[in-house]
Amino acid sequence: MAGSKNNGVQVTWNTQLGTMLAVASSAVGFGNFLRFPGLAAQYGGGAFMIAYFCAFLLLGVPLCWVEWTIGRRGGILGGHSCASAFMLISHSSVWKYLGIAGVLAPLGVGMYYMYLEGWTLGYCWNTAVGNLSLHHSSQYAEFFALFTGSASDGAAYTSKSSLPYFFALAIVANLYLLYRGITRGIEWFCKWSMPILLLTALVILVRVLTLGTPDPAQPYHNVDQGLGYMWNPSKTVLKVDDITVEMIPAEATEQQAEQMTQHVQLTNPGKRVQREHISLIRGLLNPDLWITAAGQIFFSLSIGFGTVLTYASYVPRRKDIALVALTANAANEAVEVGIAGMMIVPAAVSLLGVAAAASASTFGLGFTVLPEVFAAMPGGRLFGTLFFGLLFLASVTSSISILQPTMAFLEEFWRLTRAQSVVVAGLLIVVGAFAVSWYTGDGMMALSTLDFWMGTMCLYLISSLYLFLFRWVWGTRNGLRELGRGARIPLPHGLGFVINWITPAILLVIFSSWLYKNIFQSTSEHIHNLIDGKPGAILPMLWMLVIYIFMAFVTHTSRRFHKRPVPPQKS
Amino acid sequence: MTLPGIITMILSIGFVWILLSVCVYRLLHEPASSRTPKKDRQN
């Protein structure tokens, strides 16, 4: 069913359901179960959720349709990677250099994705053998720190952590499956593993929602408070030296709020404790929140990764892409918001408290919270093993999809065989992944650097390029005609207007306000880390620059697309 | 949890599940290429 080239024969997707399942399967992974809950907790839910849904409707859905359409058009013209599709549609060789960004970003994300797969596999094993049957929240945090080596750079490679073995296993599994092709693997996974993963997640969700108040000594650490933290549009929080440590429940009286404030002051002697009301409007005026929400939508729906573009390039001309894309998006959102977010954020608040939930690393929250949930449920060891094992499989299918654009690029521009492409892509990714696994100090410096610059900013840039190509170069009318070909749903009447004006305006406003804030107000820590020359930030980014130069060289020297392509039909 | 919080939660989760249900229903029941131009279908 998969779109790939085997023995020179182009294979296209057989069924619409198969295409949708494969795309949904590649989209469901760490973005849903780890990244989204981590960001929702960091940004305090509420306003973040509203920005997130606005981004889904006004950026996610239109841009996803744009990417599918560009992908199928590129495939019809003979290009299966972002660089070739951009060039063939625009008839300009400048666009192939811009399109390299669509190959570079997934490669950068893939570097830390494989590292996270090592975490997941390690947690699966440690849950199965009972190493995670601990007694206190602090022990789970200690286990996480020791296992991932977050204490200092290179700490994961000490004898105390088994992570390097699982990390190596994850890399070997990825490269092997990439070499063998995963056509049947994805199909099997969609049919069996994905439903089991979702069923397991639903059982865990039920357990989380019935946790009540796990620690009677901490009456405000409960599920209701957790749900309130995630969904209340406005909230009152207690801050110690500008760091959120507690949320005052909406139903609390002034006396109870004062008691909480005094309790926090007692546990933080000598520090400045202040009560702060965060209204919805104030939350929504934060540009960082918007760019993160938009970045999460792009990451989660795989927009800008080039994966969707490569998949779409194998969809036959007269098959539907509009409904398939929308269904894959909806499935992804249902899992992300309806299951993963509802599972991890309330569990984090009720088990660890608001302070720990808000300050946890983006990807680390799930690993510090879920083992404690498993310990508190009957059959928790089985469910824990099953959950982490299936999440590992889901993430492997995602990471292999993430590497498809690089494979397509190397096979197209350098005319490499699959085995040669795996070697080159493997080399590029393993060096980066090793840097990510080494620079774990300073709050997982290398991981957070790549996640911000490649997993957020670069996706933002590529999505803007998609839109620019679709809107100004190809023409919205031509693009919508292509999208509508074979569509099984009527396209919304205002879609052209949204793509022409609303989506570009939102992208521009969010990016401009983010730039303004980071240049004229307070510089982002990610920019600071680069300016300060921290090796954990500089080295991964330098490696990405080297890869870009290498890809530009490959593109420049390739003779594959030197002949001017045939202009698209006017009909 | 406040009333606006409950409303936001129900609207958000309800919206994505309804969207998914409608999409899957149409994917399984809508005849293929029903909106394909006649010229393309003949090809």
Tell me, what DSSP letter sits at residue A501?
I
* CA gap A193, A355 in Å, rounded: 35
Nearest to A56 by CA among A80, A36, A84: A36
Report the SS3 class of residue A335: helix
Break chain A down into helix, strand, coil percent, rounded to 5. 70, 5, 25
Task: List the single residue in B2, B16, B35 with the smallest CB-CB distance to A333.
Answer: B16
pLDDT at site A543: 96
Tell me, what DSSP letter sits at residue A156?
G
The ipTM estimated for the assembled molecules is 0.84
Triad A516, A520, A522: Cα angle to 5°: 100
Which carries the bigger pLDDT value, residue A550 or residue A311? A550
Q: Residue A67 pLDDT > 50, yes or no?
A: yes
Is A250 near chain B, with CB under 8 Å? yes
Average pLDDT of chain A is 87
Q: What confidence tens digit (pLDDT) does each residue in A438-478 have?
A: 999 888 899 999 999 999 899 989 999 999 999 999 999 99
CB contacts under 8 A, A 20-39 vs B, are 20
Average pLDDT over residues A179-195: 68
Q: What is the pTM of this model?
A: 0.87
pLDDT at site A242: 79
Helix (H) or strand (E) holding B43: none
User: Closest approach of chain A CAs to the CA of B15, in angstroms?
Assistant: 9
**Position B31 confidence tier, pLDDT thresholds 50, 70, 90:** low
Contact residues on chain A for B10, CB-CB shorter than 8 A = none
User: Closest approach of chain B CAs to the CA of A337, in angstroms?
Assistant: 7
Q: Which long-range contacts (CB under 8 A, 24 or more apart) does A376-382 make?
A: A376/A207, A376/A211, A376/A214, A377/A204, A377/A207, A381/A127, A381/A128, A381/A130, A381/A133
DSSP for A160-199, written as a single string: T--HHHHHHHHHHHHHHHHHH--HHHHHHIIIIIHHHHHH
pLDDT at site A385: 94
CB contacts under 8 A, B 2-41 vs A, are 2, 4-6, 8-9, 12-13, 15-17, 19-20, 23-24, 26-28, 30, 32-37, 40-41
